[in-house]
């Protein structure tokens, strides 16, 4: 647990409306930059401020400000925030974790209603649909594959199952208990059917080729026997005849990872994790501003995020 004691509350008086990025640690987050680029493009005098804090009570007080429009909620608050919300969207309820707080007004009472949603699932979905010209040929009706066992893996299962027409979903991970936890939780929430734990290279050799892969693991070379086996499972699947698209969710410190390199060499279409970050951010701004993505400076946001990543690598 962090030794952080006192939170610095940002000065929000210079803008008409403000939101927060609430989490800890958040120093590397590009969320405020992304949203500022959107607001500037829309001509709004709005800003999202970093609130690097473990203090939920502080955040709950700050959200009462009449000029507060909502928040990006990140670790470690994505589940803890649930009990402080009035309503959840289907995505927020199904994933069981919220990364976005937005506000609506009760027409009867005039009271603020605090809503939570999960836009990570939209970021995953839109990364594929915005980058793949023929989803039917690439991944519709084929098995999907998710690498990892955390919150992002659950979001990937939801996106593949709900929108991307995956016939079944293979789960690849070094830890069998994590895979079981994903299967149990997704089943309890209603979208866990046809999840398959692929534990060995021999098992992978027998499987039908996949169309969409979502990699949700840090960019470390495999070292333990379990990690080496999991990487072997992935490589076995990448070498099958059908070549689809892989979304590499890891983008810090660099979006070009070992998995991205291996996948590209095997003939796969690689989608960088910044795409998921950008499209989940656009979805957040839809809730906050009421504007459609078609009205937002999509190309400018891509340029700004790419420039920030290049700068970080210098």
Measured CA to CA, the distance from residue 296 to residue 182 in angstroms comes to 35
Which of 65, 64, 42, 63 is closest to 73 using CA atoms?
Answer: 63
User: Residues 45, 78, 223, 286: which is the catalytic one?
Assistant: 78
| Residues comprising the chain, all counted | 314
> In this structure, how many other beta carbons lie within 10 angstroms of the beta carbon of residue 308?
13
Q: Are 78 and 97 in contact (CB under 8 A)?
A: yes
> In this structure, how many other beta carbons lie within 10 angstroms of the beta carbon of residue 33?
16
Alpha helix stretches (DSSP H) within 96-244: 120-131, 135-138, 151-162, 176-188, 201-205, 225-238
DSSP annotation of 268 reads: P
Q: Are 49 and 17 in contact (CB under 8 A)?
A: no
Per-residue three-class SS string for 117-132: ECCHHHHHHHHHHHHC
Long-range contacts at 293-296 (CB < 8 A, ≥ 24 apart): 295/42, 296/38, 296/41, 296/42
Q: Six-digit token pair at 305?
A: 């995020």
- 78 as an active site residue: the answer is yes
Helices (H) and strands (E) in the chain, counts: 12, 12
Active centre residues (catalytic) = 78
């Amino acid at each position: 647990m962090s030794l952080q004691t006192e939170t610095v509350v940002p000065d929000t008086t210079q803008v008409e409306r403000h939101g927060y990025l609430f989490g800890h640690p958040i120093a590397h987050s590009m969320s405020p930059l992304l949203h500022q680029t959107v607001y500037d493009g829309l001509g709004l005098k709005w800003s999202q401020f970093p609130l690097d804090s473990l203090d939920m009570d502080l955040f709950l007080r700050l959200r009462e400000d009449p000029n507060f429009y909502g928040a990006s909620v990140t670790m470690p608050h994505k589940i803890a925030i649930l009990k402080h919300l009035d309503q959840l969207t289907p995505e927020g309820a199904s994933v069981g974790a919220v990364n976005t707080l937005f506000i609506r007004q009760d027409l009867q009472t005039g009271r603020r209603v605090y809503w939570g949603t999960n836009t990570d699932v939209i970021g995953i979905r839109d990364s594929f649909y915005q980058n793949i010209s023929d989803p039917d040929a690439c991944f519709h009706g084929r098995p999907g594959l998710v690498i990892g066992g955390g919150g992002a893996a659950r979001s990937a299962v939801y996106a593949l199952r709900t929108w991307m027409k995956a016939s079944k979903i293979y789960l690849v991970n070094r830890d069998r208990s994590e895979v079981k936890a994903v299967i149990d939780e997704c089943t309890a929430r209603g979208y866990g059917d046809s999840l398959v734990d692929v534990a060995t290279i021999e098992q992978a050799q027998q499987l039908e080729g996949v169309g969409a892969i979502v990699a949700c693991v840090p960019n470390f070379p495999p070292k333990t026997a379990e990690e080496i086996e999991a990487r072997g499972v992935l490589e076995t699947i990448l070498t099958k005849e059908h070549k689809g698209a892989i979304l590499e969710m890891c983008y810090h410190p660099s979006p070009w990872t070992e998995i991205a390199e291996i996948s590209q060499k095997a003939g796969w279409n690689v989608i960088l994790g910044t795409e998921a970050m950008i499209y989940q951010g656009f979805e957040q701004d839809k809730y906050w501003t009421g504007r459609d993505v078609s009205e937002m400076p999509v190309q400018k946001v891509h340029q700004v995020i790419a420039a920030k990543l290049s700068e970080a690598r210098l």
